[in-house]
Amino acid sequence: MEHYDLIVIGGGPSGYAGAMRAIDFGKKVLLIEKTRIGGAGIYNGVLTSKTLWDQALKVLSIREMIPNYEVNFDAVAKIVNEAVFERKTQMTVHLQLLQKLQTRLFFYEKGTALLLDKHTVQIAKDDLLKTVSADFILIATGSRPRVPSNIVVDEKIIVTSDGIKNFTSFPESMVVLGAGVIGCEFATIFSGFGKTKVNLIDKADRILPFEDEDIASIVKNNLEANGAHVHQGASLKKMQLVNGKVEYELEYKNGQSEILTVDKALISIGRVANVENIGLENAGVKLNERGCVWDDDTQTNISNIYVAGDATTEVALVNVGEREARHAVVRMFGPTVKPLSYKNISTIMFLNPEVAAVGMNEQECVAKGIAHKVVKLDFSTNARAITMRKTKGFFKIIVTNDSGMRILGMRAIGEHASSAIQAVAYLIHTNQGIKELADMMHPHPSIIEGIQECLRMLLNKSIYKPYVFKDRLKCYVCENGICTPIESLV
């Protein structure tokens, strides 16, 4: 029986990152993947959807100048396929070359893995079975789209994100079930191409309910400006295929109901961890109350078995999964490290406009009873936004309500928002103050100057004064659920 220092089950972003980190420690690693290296991160998830998003926004920009512009579906599909091929090829060639090195540490098996006990794994490929063992095991089996039990998903007409690749043309009409980030992203994409009438089913009082209302309002307004319609406060009673189309029935909070018909439906109501049929029970690995693998800082209840990525659904993001896997491997083979912190995760929501976030938002601070100060600067005051003629959006920084003004969180919505978030994330991560970043010479004209001006407002030395530009610059303090505008923050 072949023995390894580490067996990684799952070749998606988390598993791949974990295997590569183990090589850094000179460990003998076996990576097992049952289908395709890269997982959903390449084929059905981030890479494909964000490539589509980029193309949709390009088309939207063209349509602003040429209203009658017609986008070609095959041309867009070709770009997406090229992106997938490029990334897939990079990863595959990298693995092939690693296996050819004279000091070989990396090994790869394509097949289905089954834990036989806490050290032993069976690999099934076609009709062949192979048994291997390891000192440590990393579970990185990912997740799949959640599907309601009362809806038949054929991944052609009624689809999850996995089925978008099966489209052969832009549908004339489409309904999206789920108004979270992914649902809103796909509503943004298809409405942006200008070929699809998009309906978005939102059971809550507003889309993106976990985000502040000012963020959700801008996203909703832009969706509606591109012809999308939000079924606000609507519960889905029924969805089925009728004569090759999707018929769905909604019931609203006022008791009214309606039946509508569209060409396609996208189900976007979250994801489910892939934890079945991998032998967790054979190794004694426990699940948590959400049906995911239980872990304590990536370590399961079995000391030599670790978990990373969507199998834990701590936070279902590629960057988080990769970081968890690398952290797990350091815990196995490296020096003692402090536990992972999820307080300074930088995220991007690929909406229109894009949203970048780190730390807490306002409604979280209020819910936790944290007294805080808020500074908010409109994109219309930013020179770079003005040059791009993209002035819809704002920066918002939330700090503690004391002289230290430690950053609790930040939100940016608008053009290039994602480029503005990392410096603030670093301040949160290192628990540093805001003065150094405020005093740096930022490039001009740039979006990140908006961050600088927010910090200057906190220090009461901004160029534009919030008590003059009250409609574009806002400063207020929130305590005990009451927010009060202030003219001076120091």
Instruction: Give mean pLDDT, residues 107-132.
Output: 96
Among 165, 176, 181, residue whose Cα is nearest residue 350: 181
pLDDT grade for 110, boundaries at 50, 70 and 90 = very high
Identify the pLDDT of residue 232: 92
Average pLDDT, the chain: 93
> Under 8 Å CB-to-CB from 22, ≥6 apart: which residues?
5, 6, 8, 29, 329, 332, 333
User: What distance in Å separates the CA atoms of residue 37 and residue 17, rounded to the nearest whole number?
Assistant: 12
Identify the pLDDT of residue 435: 83
pLDDT grade for 468, boundaries at 50, 70 and 90 = confident
Cα-Cα-Cα-Cα torsion 42, 45, 48, 52, nearest 10 degrees, comes to -160
Range name among 127-131, 204-208, 286-290, 310-314 with the lowest pLDDT average: 310-314
pLDDT tens-place string over residues 166-213? 999 999 999 999 999 999 999 999 999 999 999 999 998 899 999 999
pTM comes to 0.92
Question: Which one of 94-108, 217-231, 465-479 scores highest in mean pLDDT?
Answer: 217-231
Token output for 463: 């160029």
User: Hey, what domains does the chain have and what are their CATH numbers?
Assistant: 2-145+272-333 (3.50.50.60), 158-269 (3.50.50.60), 353-485 (3.30.390.30)
Identify the pLDDT of residue 150: 93
Instruction: Give mean pLDDT, residues 470-474.
Output: 89
pLDDT at 489 over 70: no
Token output for 21: 């980190």
pLDDT grade for 487, boundaries at 50, 70 and 90 = low
User: What distance in Å separates the CA atoms of residue 351 and residue 182, rounded to the nearest whole number?
Assistant: 9
User: What distance in Å separates the CA atoms of residue 348 and residue 127, rounded to the nearest whole number?
Assistant: 43
pLDDT at 488 over 60: no
Percent of the chain with pLDDT over 90: 79
* Residue, of 406 and 27, whose pLDDT is higher: 27
Instruction: Give mean pLDDT, residues 70-96.
Output: 95
Do you find a cis peptide bond into 339, omega within 30 degrees of 0?
no
Identify the pLDDT of residue 490: 46
Cα 44–Cα 49–Cα 157 angle in degrees, nearest 5: 65
* Residue, of 486 and 297, whose pLDDT is higher: 297
pLDDT tens-place string over residues 246-260? 999 999 988 899 999
User: What distance in Å separates the CA atoms of residue 374 and residue 9, rounded to the nearest whole number?
Assistant: 44
Percent of the chain with pLDDT over 70: 99
Instruction: Give mean pLDDT, residues 296-315.
Output: 93
pLDDT tens-place string over residues 397-430? 999 998 888 899 999 999 999 988 888 888 888 8
* Residue, of 122 and 41, whose pLDDT is higher: 122
pLDDT at 345 over 90: no
Question: Which one of 37-46, 127-136, 463-472 scores highest in mean pLDDT?
Answer: 127-136
Identify the pLDDT of residue 373: 94
pLDDT tens-place string over residues 215-224? 999 999 999 9
Identify the pLDDT of residue 464: 87
Q: How far is CA 129 from the centre of its chain?
A: 36
pLDDT at 449 over 50: yes
